[in-house]
Amino acid sequence: MTLETTSPVQITPVDPADPEALLAWNALLRDGYNAGREAAWWASEESTLAQYGDPKPGRTSVLLLAHLDGAPVGAAGAEVDPGDPAEVEISVLPRHRRRGVGRALAAAVREALAGHAEVVQAETYSEAGVGFARDQGMRLGNQEHRLLRAMPLDPEALTGAADVPGLEIRTWHGACPEELVEDWARLTTQMDADVPMGDLTRPASRGEVADLRRNEQRMDDQGWTLVRGLALLDGTAVGYTEIFVNRHDPEILTQDDTLVDRAHRGRGIGRALKLANLENLRAVPEVAGARWIQTYTALDNAPMLALNRALGFREEDVLSILEGELPRA
């Protein structure tokens, strides 16, 4: 099937049940999106096949390819869970830009999402991408530094945690231990509320234990090892951190959330958490093949930026997240 378009660009949907077509779509989306960026992560072939081979219940997925004169030149993807903003990615190969490909893909995405979402969000690392999104009626909602740290880790860099009386750091790999899962669910729910999102619409919080367990299983099925740490102060959980390692493609690791409860910030707990979990990371076999670890921090989050710099991270580029409304069906 070919979607209608008034431009010479042809837009065709991709069948996620066709492995060859799915991987070609993923590669084209990656090549356009990451063009010109250093150490830019992208989902591996194995993770992509696993993700679409076992789709999340209730989720709507849109996968599109753009062709000019019969050649694939761009791609788009969109994912939306009921009641949440749709997450959209659009990419065009550099040599085919400024020919209406992005506009045709954006129009096709809006058509495909009609009735499934009221709000769309899109991410870009370039000023050109920001300009394109603004031309599509979107507004800038939030920006974050992407920071990189070279691997392997220097053991001497994993020292210097503050001595916090009563602090215990528990670390592990994979699913949360049963005796800690209620604390983990509570803190991740707090993270959903506390994480800086600028003017973006927040997705619904899914901090129930059952949701957490389902997500852990899905990530494991897609090839992810979860490297985690929990901070307990006099026996009470007050913070957590986690790193994602893709077993199929561990070149770039992702330092994801780090949270310390507001009542206990400024005491060195965040640093202690991160140092302990970086040490914990060294026990994951796949990490031996890693070249980089990346993390994201809001531009105005001075304390976390300072901590990340102290741990050897440097700012590489800026992630801009834009948001717009979908016309009602």
What is the CATH classification number for the domain harbouring 73? 3.40.630.30
Please tell me the predicted confidence (pLDDT) of residue 143: 96
Does residue 95 carry a pLDDT above 90?
A: yes
Residue ending a domain, among 101, 117, 133, is 117
In a domain, 133, yes or no: no
Residue ending a domain, among 117, 133, 161, is 117
Does residue 18 carry a pLDDT above 80?
A: yes
How many domains in the chain? Answer: 2
Residue ending a domain, among 99, 117, 135, is 117
In a domain, 286, yes or no: yes
Q: How big is the chain, counted in residues?
A: 329
Q: Would you tell me how many other CB atoms lie within 10 Å of the CB of residue 55?
A: 13
Q: Say what the pTM is.
A: 0.90
106 and 152 part of one domain: no
In a domain, 327, yes or no: no
228 and 276 part of one domain: yes
306 and 185 part of one domain: yes
In a domain, 20, yes or no: yes
H helix runs in 16-82, sequence order: 19-33, 45-53
154 and 68 part of one domain: no
For residues 223 and 236, the answer to whether their CB atoms sit within 8 Å is no
Q: How confident is the model at residue 176 (pLDDT cuts 50, 70, 90)?
A: very high
The domain of 24 spans: 10-117
For residues 205 and 189, the answer to whether their CB atoms sit within 8 Å is yes
Please tell me the predicted confidence (pLDDT) of residue 89: 97
Does residue 101 carry a pLDDT above 80?
A: yes
Does residue 1 carry a pLDDT above 60?
A: no
Please tell me the predicted confidence (pLDDT) of residue 7: 65
113 and 151 part of one domain: no
Instruction: Compute the average pLDDT of residues 131-141.
Output: 96
308 and 163 part of one domain: yes
206 and 276 part of one domain: yes
Q: Which two tokens stand for residue 70?
A: 């019969």
156 and 222 part of one domain: yes
In a domain, 223, yes or no: yes
pLDDT tens column, 233-289: 999 999 999 999 999 999 999 999 999 999 999 999 999 999 999 999 999 999 999
In a domain, 248, yes or no: yes
151 and 73 part of one domain: no
In a domain, 287, yes or no: yes
If you average pLDDT over every residue of the chain, what do you get?
Answer: 93
| Burial of residue 104 (number of CB atoms within 10 Å: 0-12, 13-18, 19+) | buried
In a domain, 274, yes or no: yes
Residues 21 and 26: their CA atoms lie apart, in Å, by: 9
169 and 55 part of one domain: no
230 and 170 part of one domain: yes
156 and 62 part of one domain: no
Residues 214-240 as b or e (16 or more Cβ within 10 Å = b): eebeebeebbbbbbbbbbbbeeebbbb
